[in-house]
Each structure stands twice: as structure tokens, then as C-alpha cells.
A and B are shown apart, each in its own frame.
Chain A
Amino acid sequence: AQKVTQAQTEISVVEKEDVTLDCVYETRDTTYYLFWYKQPPSGELVFLIRRNSFDEQNEISGRYSWNFQKSTSSFNFTITASQVVDSAVYFCALSANNNDMRFGAGTRLTVKP
């Protein structure tokens, strides 16, 4: 069974602060992909990153960075110098051999000016 846990329901920060969104996953498959999506108020999912289970390299894209740790089954997402436009719900998701994507509960991030 696959499971994604995002323990942080809501996070509120002040602009320019760094913030880390946690994601812990469970799967018995050895091959799987992890994703992060952003869902602004409009509702449309915005793809942020895909990482496969064989690639533990951390990734940085502008103010975004991701830390993948297989040893702790975590795939955390950090926003550096947060901005008001970063306010959204962020979902971590897992897709394994059956291509069945499971989403975490989501973390609502509010960045205050």
C-alpha cells in the first residue's frame, strides 16, 4: 500500500522567511516517483518537480529546493526567501508500479507581507 503523509496542515510565514514543507512516504515498491504540486486558489495543479526512487540528488530550482532521503522516506520541499505569491496549498504525491498516484493531505502555506 502506498501512503503519503504531510504532517503540516497549515504554515504561516512572513515574507522573505525560508520555509520547509515536509513529506514522508510509504511504499513497498522499489521503483517509484515522487512529486510536488502547487495548487493556487484557482484550483489548477501546478507541477513543481518529479524525482525517481533511484535519484537521491537534491535539486534546486531558483528559490525552490528539494531534499530526497530514502533512508527516512522523506521528500521535503524548501522555499527560500518566501514571497506572497508562494501562498497556496502544496501537495506531495507518490506514484509506483501501478501508476496509481497517491496524494498527501496537503500543506496550506500562507506568506504574509
Chain B
Amino acid sequence: GAVVSQHPSWVICKSGTSVKIECRSLDFQATTMFWYRQFPKQSLMLMATSNEGSKATYEQGVEKDKFLINHASLTLSTLTVTSAHPEDSSFYICSAEGAPQILYEQYFGPGTRLTVT
């Protein structure tokens, strides 16, 4: 149990366009979802935390107008990279926390590789 999927697994887009990444909890309800970004050969950096039905909380230095996060249901959160630029190219990973809940545990999606040309 506790499977998290992401779609798409990879995407290439042109500079200036917007890209939406979906994160779904397949067999549990995710009350909280997290979005991470990982640059090549670097660690995962938390971008934002979202709770179902409320606004996301962004980490310092993350532009909320550029990285739009929506957590409209207990099984789906979306990250939209608006007006993407080559420096936004990265590996985006989501994670979800919820029932069946093991306290402090997050279940990770497989990641989405974004390349902006």
C-alpha cells in the first residue's frame, strides 16, 4: 500500500510555457503533500507543503507565483511551473502523508524530469 504516482514522468517544454505536474496518492488519502526539487548531483530541496483545501506553504526562496501548487482533493496535488525557463529544468519529486499513516513518514512518487529548452 501507500503508492504515490506522478505524471508525467518526464516532460520537455519550450521556454515561456507552463507545465503541470500531477501527484496522486493511489491507495490512501493524502492530507499533506510535499514538493521537492532536485538538481543534478544535488540533494532534494523542499519547495512547498500543501494541505488539502488550503494554500500551500512555500519554503524561503521559492517563488509562489512561479510554482503554483493546488491540493484540491485528498488524492491529488498539482505543481504548475509557470513561464518556465531553462534554469527551472530539474527533477521534481512529490511525497504524500496520510492514512494509512505512520507518523512522520512520507511516501515518495517516482519523480518528474523537466527539461526547459
Contacts and interface: CB of A to CB of B under 8 A. Distances in A.
Which of B97, B106, B113 has the most A CB atoms < 10 Å from its CB? Answer: B106
Interface in A33-75: 33, 37, 42-45, 47, 50, 52
Interface size class of B (residues with CB under 8 A): 20 to 34
A32 B105 CA distance: 10
B32 interface: yes
Given A105-B42, A106-B43, A43 B110 contact: yes
Interface in B8-67: 32, 34, 41-46, 49
B69 interface: no
Label chain B's interface by main secondary structure.
strand
Nearest to B111: A43
Interface string A86-113: 0000010001100111111110100000
B111 A91 contact: no
A47 B49 CA distance: 20
